[in-house]
Amino acid sequence: MTKGIKIAGAVYILFLCSLPLAGQVFPVPLPGGDVIQPFGLFNQFFPGVGAGFDGLNADPHGINNSRTFVAMGYTAGAATDGNGKTYNVITDIRVYQGDYIGAVSTYGGGGTTSAKAHGTFVEI
């Protein structure tokens, strides 16, 4: 291989490395969260006032490094299945829409690259 081809190859590799990443940007969870025994840490807080909640201003988000619109609320309701059996329903459904810095799988072996992206998420 000539010296010129080697240089051209090196420049091409550098060019490829400079291209924007096209992979999915996976969100990264909050580093903190609530501990629920016997399961351990859940990377989520539970805003609210009173026993069992984390306080009025506890972070309602489940994704770290985010700048988003957030909506959440604890609910109660009822449901009926196909056999007519009734159920009590409790939900905590949260919606997140905006920018976040997540992780793109890169280089193999579990390596990741941080990347900024826009997305909409729902916590069910």
Partner 1 sequence: MHDFNPGITPNGVFWIVQIPDDAVQITGDTLTIHLQNIAVTDQLQFGGTGNAPASVSFDITYTKSGMPRRVRQTSSDPLSPFTWAGKMWMATNTGTFSAAYNDGSFAATGSFSSSGNFGEMGTERNGSFASEKDDDAGAKSLPLQQGQVQAETRMNAAEKPVLLSNLPLLKGRVPIKGFPLRSAP
Q: Which of residues 3-32 bind partner 1 (CB under 8 A)?
A: 20-32
CB of 12 to partner 1, least distance (A): 19
- DSSP letter at 83 equals T
Q: Specify the amino acid at residue 42.
A: F
- Residue 66 makes CB contacts below 8 A (sequence gap 6+) with 27, 96, 98, 99, 100, 101
- Pick 13 or 95: Cβ nearer partner 1: 95
- Pick 1 or 51: Cβ nearer partner 1: 51
Question: Looking at 7, 11, 13, 41, which residue binds partner 1 (CB under 8 A)?
Answer: 41
Dist CA 39 CA 5 (whole Å): 57
Question: Looking at 3, 4, 15, 75, which residue binds partner 1 (CB under 8 A)?
Answer: 75
- Pick 4 or 110: Cβ nearer partner 1: 110
Question: Looking at 1, 14, 16, 79, which residue binds partner 1 (CB under 8 A)?
Answer: 79
User: Cis peptide before 38, with omega less than 30 degrees from 0?
Assistant: yes
Dist CA 10 CA 114 (whole Å): 24
- Pick 4 or 84: Cβ nearer partner 1: 84
